[in-house]
Structure 1
Amino acid sequence: MSETHPNDAYGRILNAIDHGDYRPSDRLVESELADRLGMSRTPIREALQRLETQGVLSRDGRSLMVASLDHDQLGELYTVRAELEGLAARLAAQHAAPEEIGVLYDMIAQDRKLLGDPQALSRANKRFHRQIHLASHNRFLIRQLESVRRSMALLTTTSFAASGRSGAALDEHHVIVTAIEARDGAAADDAARAHISAAYQTRLMVDAGEIR
């Protein structure tokens, strides 16, 4: 819980959920969080209220717990994510600086060293997509994608744990960046949507017990 400013209760709690320290249906107790973070209960209370408003937490009586996504909500989330990620890639093809494109290629090269470590690849995947979001140079789109990222933190597993998915995902990343480098917005959009669709299909198959 140390990746954000030590006084940022909201960011630290969200990071803890994102990293799996708290999982769907886990209860978050204000006093326990205050002790764990070494903060007073007021900023903790405000952070919990904000997370509840954003749908990251849900209420069970008087208790707050990490929310979970049902089958329909999962589909809705991936539908929105595909649209937004496609738009981000399209805009990145228009606006990304050569240095930003170079960073994306470097990320893919570094991420190939993580094959076999699904959790590390999951974290690297978030950084890669975040870099594309930044390369879109559209602050309003970035804000919407951040909201999607918060909801993605509610998923209990990573599709990178599925056999064969890690290498395929990195290949898909390369296709996206190649299209961005070519300044082909339509191809970048299509590649990003195909990438999200493949991730969604993998997750559905994992949840159905079809692949491991």
Structure 2
Amino acid sequence: MSQPRASQKDAYSLILEAIDTGVYRPGDRLVESDLAERFGVSRTPIREALQRLETQSLLTRDGRSLIVASLDHNQMAELYAVRCELEGLAARLAARHATDEEVLVLRGMVEEDRGLMSDPSSLARANRRFHRQIHLASHNRYLVQQLDLVYRSMALMATTSLAAEGRGEVALGEHSSIVEAIARRDEQAAYQALRDHISEAFVTRLKLDSRPLTMR
């Protein structure tokens, strides 16, 4: 069943969102005609969107077909290294520039997310919103742009670290520590708390990925 008809210029963002939310996962084949029907968009903007996504390495070729790319161990490690530093910088700048209202929003997100502990998919979406809010609170447009690129690549990971048993509760505790450091205007503490949070998420993901397929 196709979704409500969208503006032709939205084809790229529609496909990107579908990858980000797990509608299409690493290894899935993307067919131009199927996408056009699903999103109610003509094939020309779909074709252009697929070409753009391939250029950005979010899609890769399998013969004549385009499939959602996946990250190998080294690529994932490289991505987390960059993410760790950029997110830490975002937290540092948020501690310096965030308005009182932005801090209230961040605190509210942490509290609201406590109700999502039993739903890893919803918690993962909420997690992205939380991190995005910190990016915006940095009040640095160039940093936000770079983090958008990082998160675009994060969509190529087949699982969320929040699916690991107990990780959701621990992650929310880490979120709370980050917010309180920002609220105190403690730039170094905010930077370190965010870096530690990303590092723990990476360790959890490595453990998940090392499990035998029969256990997943």
TM-score by length of 1: 0.95
Match of 2:60 in 1: 58
2:134 aligned to which of 132, 135, 154: 132
- Distance in 2 (CA, whole Å) between partners of 1:119 and 1:13 is 18
Residue 205 (str. 1) matches residue 207 (str. 2): yes
Match of 1:161 in 2: 163
The secondary structure found in structure 1 opposite 2:22 is coil
1:6-45 counterparts in 2 under 5 A? 6-7=7-8, 8-45=10-47
CA change 1:18–1:2 in 2 (3 A) is farther
Q: Partner letter of residue 114 of structure 1? A: L
2:173 aligned to which of 171, 174, 177: 171
- Distance in 2 (CA, whole Å) between partners of 1:131 and 1:199 is 18
- Distance in 2 (CA, whole Å) between partners of 1:178 and 1:209 is 35
Structure 2: any 5+ residue segments left out of the alignment?
A: none
Cα pair 1:55 1:67 within 8 Å, conserved: yes
Cα pair 1:58 1:66 within 8 Å, conserved: yes
Match of 1:83 in 2: 85
Q: Displacement of 1:62 after TM fit?
A: 2.2
The secondary structure found in structure 1 opposite 2:136 is helix
Match of 2:189 in 1: 187
Q: Partner letter of residue 136 of structure 2? A: L
- Distance in 2 (CA, whole Å) between partners of 1:119 and 1:21 is 12
Structure 1: any 5+ residue segments left out of the alignment?
A: none
- Distance in 1 (CA, whole Å) between partners of 2:70 and 2:193 is 29
Match of 1:100 in 2: 102
Aligned length, in residue pairs:
211
Q: Partner letter of residue 104 of structure 1? A: L
The secondary structure found in structure 2 opposite 1:51 is helix
Segment drifting more, 29-38 vs 131-140: 29-38
Cα pair 2:3 2:38 within 8 Å, conserved: no
The secondary structure found in structure 1 opposite 2:23 is coil
Deviations 1:43-82 (Å, cap 9, x if unpaired)?
1111111111111111123221100000111101111110
Q: Partner letter of residue 49 of structure 1? A: Q
Q: Partner letter of residue 117 of structure 2? A: L
Give identity over the alignment, percent.
Answer: 64
Q: Partner letter of residue 48 of structure 1? A: L
Q: Partner letter of residue 38 of structure 2? A: R
Which stretches of structure 1, 4 residues or longer, exceed 4 Å deviation after superposition?
none
The secondary structure found in structure 2 opposite 1:150 is helix
Match of 1:118 in 2: 120
Q: CA RMSD in A?
A: 1.7
Match of 1:141 in 2: 143
Cα pair 2:95 2:182 within 8 Å, conserved: yes
Q: Displacement of 1:2 after TM fit?
A: 7.0
TM-score by length of 2: 0.94
